Amino acid sequence: MRLRNVPGAREVMVENEYVFTEPEGMKGTWHEVFGNDNPVRIEIGMGKGRFISTLAAQNPNINYVGIEKYSSVLLRAVEKQEELQLPNLRFIRMDAENICEVFGAGEVDRIYLNFSDPWPKDRHAKRRLTSRQFFARYNVILKQDGQVEFKTDNKDLFDFSVEEVTEASIACCVKQEIHGDYAINTYISMDLDTAISFATRYVHEQFHSYDEYVQASLEDFVNLQNGLFIVNVSNTSNTELTLGAPEHITVSPIQFSGRTLHIPVLYTFGTIDFYMERVSIKE
């Protein structure tokens, strides 16, 4: 279906107080945006906003963020919100591929996917909101017991989504601790297909399944990067640091206890999430 362009819609989005059109860098700030510590729930591909506006009106103690790519579609929801002026409802005009730049690790309580675009062509599978690539992003921003609620009337998309959520639940993660004048936990995390592709490129050897050689390649990569890091830190600040042994962990999502920097890196073959968790700093 071709979307009808509404003249002036983009300008309305830029000027409206309920809409963020350049939200990158806002992760970790949503409780400040709403002025409370209530749960944050998001709808991706919210369309004209009837679903999320109704939820926001019914649940004043929950914060809602609606995400829509097209200004002409989002305009109707914005007009309705100007009438309702619900304090717990905001909108973002953006492509959901960048969602990890907008919400921090564990910042979202629930994600709604309602009658999403099925993207029927096989070459567009990664664009589907229930692809394993998107589930990897959701896994980052959802809290430990967070949920994804999915509705569709498209059987092909439903079958695809069931397969993808099974694959997405299987992930690999390598952790390495850095000790000394301060303590940091470092992690890299990705789905299995991405791990296989990454290891193939890293050691220049073709892998076809996830095995001990792929795992060893990931551990070697983490150890090498952290080794370079502590050498550079030692040379520039006279700081003493040592590395622990890399270890494979299976907890999903990763549980962080300290302040954590998250850097998602999108390659052509998948997304790799890098984390640095601050544990302690000696005075």
Q: Which residues are catalytic?
A: 117
Q: State how far the Cα of 46 lies from the Cα of 176, in Å rounded to an integer.
A: 39
E-assigned strand segments in the chain: 19-20, 40-44, 63-68, 89-93, 108-114, 142-151, 171-180, 182-191, 241-243, 247-249, 260-267, 270-281
DSSP letter (8 states) at residue 182? E
Q: How many residues does the chain have?
A: 283
Q: Are 187 and 272 in contact (CB under 8 A)?
A: no
Q: Write out the two tokens for 129.
A: 């909101």
- Cα–Cα distances (Å) from 48 to 13, 17, 33, 189, 245, in that order, read 14, 17, 22, 35, 51
